[in-house]
Amino acid sequence: MVSELAANIKQFWGTVSYTEIVVLALVFSFVWLYYSSIWLGFYTGPHVHLPRVKYPLYWYFYKFYLRIYGDVSAYSKIHDEHGKVILFAKNGVMISDLNAFKMLNSYQLKKSVIREREYHSKRKRLLSPAFSVRQMGLMEPLVLETGTLNLVEHLDSQFNGEIKNIRVNIYELFYRSTLDVISQLVFGESLHCIENPEEFKYYMSVISRIQLFLGLVIPFPFLRKFERPSKPFERIVEENMRKRRENKSSHSDIL
């Protein structure tokens, strides 16, 4: 009996092409996605009485686009259409009511580990000193030197150079200056994007890959097994932390 069944299975798979297998796998994945995330999330269970988006399947994919590109205006439009409380995902509610927001963020409701009181208290003790009034005041010279003075010096060198009628992209320069300031405060050193436009393009591409990764890692968890796109920044931070520990030096930045 078992051998006959095995022979039938072998015969069946012998007549199926790779294309048919791929199509079958895609169809099964889509049906499972629709059942587990759309049908169970929007049409059954205790949440069905809540207002929801008009096309849940379309919204399921569209919200990843919004997450990747950071377009928050779409959420505001949805609230205008459906109200302050909207069912937007399986076991996920989007709210714009302040009282409901306060209740959901209190410790009365069970949440993930990052929302637990003890976990939050530990992180708060670690991060609060970096954002105190005194520490922010100590960081002002760094911001002035890395951002404003370097930008002014760069513009002076451009306008006083040999090339006449030079055109300057102020919008991009502010982006480059901002990235220099943030990296100086958070990573422990400036990325020198003001002086090196090509470096700026490289780091912006890294940031774009990070945004893409954050948008895709939830629907495709297997991506966590690959190297994180934030590695270039992590290496800078790790190297600066190592140097500071060896030199036992203190700095006024966030790092």
Looking at residue 180, its pLDDT comes to 92
- What's the pLDDT at 51? 84
pLDDT for position 204? 92
Tell how far CA 23 is from the center of its chain. Answer: 32
Reported pTM = 0.59
Q: What are phi and psi of 247, to 5 degrees?
A: -85, -10
Tens of pLDDT, residue by residue, the chain (255 residues): 556 655 565 555 566 667 777 788 888 888 888 888 888 878 887 777 888 888 888 888 888 778 777 777 788 888 888 888 888 777 778 888 888 878 777 767 766 666 677 777 787 787 787 778 888 888 888 888 988 888 888 888 887 766 667 788 888 898 899 999 999 988 888 999 998 999 999 999 999 888 888 878 777 777 788 888 889 999 998 998 888 888 887 788 887
Q: How far is CA 110 from the centre of its chain?
A: 24
Question: Measured between alpha carbons, how far is 13 from 216 in angstroms, rounded to an integer?
Answer: 33
Q: Are 91 and 41 in contact (CB under 8 A)?
A: yes
pLDDT of residue 102: 80
The per-residue pLDDT for 179 is 92
CA distance 161 to 80: 53
